[in-house]
């Protein structure tokens, strides 16, 4: 087990293992998302209060969840890279940032579209969760900007790691904001005492969608990490052998 993890930290091994995993994740992801989309749109009953508009939840919640997970992945791997100086860790952090930003955007956009018919407004500046999610989008931008501004890869890795860690304080704020302040968002529905407070027919597609999104996100992340690793290690022998052996970019 430890040997596996050790191997994983080695770029050439990671590159190969990742290339084998990606297709499976894509397959599993598409399967889950496919089921969830169909079930969420057509099988789940309409909500008592929100009618069919509630179905946006099947896109909004998974994206919001992943936007936060992506930040934690970015911050944790940046931290690991900083403390234990594992190059691959830094590559993961760099790869996670644009994905996280995209999912944050998706969460904000779908949330806004959901908000219009439900709360009558595209945006509510008083809502703490909306605001802290927006802050997280800006944190992603700042992270990518800082990386872009520093030419030396090692320095860029370390500087952005400090930034990512400092910004990580925002993630629990997003999650707990609905408990600490009054908000248009309802309180925790899924992860609370007594189990999820949702009709199973509505719940299962949601869980499946979260799972599917996670698989697809992971596939995207792994692909980006591979590109990152290849670029960083472009002068090493294992990369040279890989290229010369003619295995295409798969």
Q: Do residues 132 and 177 touch, judged by C-beta distance below 8 A?
A: yes
- Interaction pattern, residues 205-244, with other proteins; x per rule: CB under 8 A: -----------x---x--xx-xx--xx--x----xx--xx
Considering only residues 17, 35, 105, 207, which one is a binding residue for other proteins as defined by CB under 8 A? 105
Considering only residues 78, 106, 130, 171, which one is a binding residue for other proteins as defined by CB under 8 A? 106
- Interface stretch with other proteins, choices 5-13, 48-56, 86-94, 184-192 (CB under 8 A): 48-56
Q: Do residues 100 and 224 touch, judged by C-beta distance below 8 A?
A: no
Sequence-separated (6 or more) residues with CB below 8 Å from residue 80: 86, 89
Q: Which residues of 88-126 are buried (b: 16+ CB within 10 A; e: fewer)?
A: bbbbbbbbbbebbbbbbebbbebbeebbeeeeeeeebee
Question: Is residue 248 close enough to count as binding other proteins by CB under 8 A?
Answer: yes
Question: Is residue 90 close enough to count as binding other proteins by CB under 8 A?
Answer: no
| Euclidean distance between CA atoms 203 and 196, whole angstroms | 8
Q: Do residues 40 and 84 touch, judged by C-beta distance below 8 A?
A: no
Tell me whether residue 12 or residue 142 sits nearer to other proteins (CB atom).
142
- Sort 174 into a burial class: Cβ within 10 Å, 0-12 / 13-18 / 19+: buried
Footprint on residues 7-36 left by other proteins (CB under 8 A):
none
| Euclidean distance between CA atoms 232 and 185, whole angstroms | 42
Closest CA to 205 of 73, 15, 40, 7: 40
**DSSP string over 139-164:** HHHHHHHHHHH--SHHHHHHHHHHHH
- Interaction pattern, residues 58-77, with other proteins; x per rule: CB under 8 A: xxx--x--------------
Instruction: Please give the backbone phi and psi of residue 33, each rounded to the nearest 5 degrees, phi first.
Output: -65, -40
Question: Is residue 102 close enough to count as binding other proteins by CB under 8 A?
Answer: yes
| Euclidean distance between CA atoms 202 and 197, whole angstroms | 10
- Interaction pattern, residues 171-210, with other proteins; x per rule: CB under 8 A: --x-------------------------------------
Footprint on residues 107-166 left by other proteins (CB under 8 A):
109-110, 113-114, 116-117, 131-132, 135-136, 138-139, 141-142, 145-146, 149-150, 155, 158-159, 162-163, 165-166
Q: Which residues bind other proteins (CB under 8 A)?
A: 37, 41-42, 46, 51-53, 55-56, 58-60, 63, 82, 98-99, 102-103, 105-106, 109-110, 113-114, 116-117, 131-132, 135-136, 138-139, 141-142, 145-146, 149-150, 155, 158-159, 162-163, 165-167, 169-170, 173, 216, 220, 223-224, 226-227, 230-231, 234, 239-240, 243-244, 248-249
């Amino acid at each position: 087990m430890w040997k596996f993890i050790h191997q994983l930290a080695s770029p050439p091994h990671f590159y190969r293992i990742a290339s084998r995993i990606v297709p499976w994740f894509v397959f599993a992801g598409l399967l889950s998302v496919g089921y969830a989309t169909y079930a969420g749109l057509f099988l789940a009953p309409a909500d008592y209060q929100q009618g069919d508009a509630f179905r946006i939840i099947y896109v909004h919640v998974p994206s919001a969840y992943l936007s936060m997970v992506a930040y934690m992945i970015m911050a944790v791997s940046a931290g690991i890279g900083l403390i234990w100086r594992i190059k691959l860790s830094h590559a993961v952090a760099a790869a996670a940032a644009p994905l996280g930003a995209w999912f944050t955007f998706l969460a904000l956009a779908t949330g806004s579209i959901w908000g219009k018919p439900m709360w009558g407004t595209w945006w509510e500046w008083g809502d703490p969760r909306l605001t802290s999610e927006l802050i997280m989008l800006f944190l992603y931008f700042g992270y990518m900007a800082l990386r872009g501004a520093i030419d030396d890869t090692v320095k860029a890795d370390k500087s952005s790691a400090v930034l990512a860690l400092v910004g990580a304080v925002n993630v629990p704020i997003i999650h707990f904001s609905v408990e600490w302040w009054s908000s248009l968002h309802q309180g925790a529905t899924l992860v609370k005492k007594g189990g999820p407070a949702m009709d199973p027919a509505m719940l299962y597609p949601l869980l499946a969608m979260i799972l599917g999104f996670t698989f697809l996100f992971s596939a995207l992340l792994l692909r980006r990490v591979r590109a990152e690793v290849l670029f960083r290690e472009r002068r090493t022998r294992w990369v040279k052998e890989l290229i010369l052996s003619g295995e295409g970019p798969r």
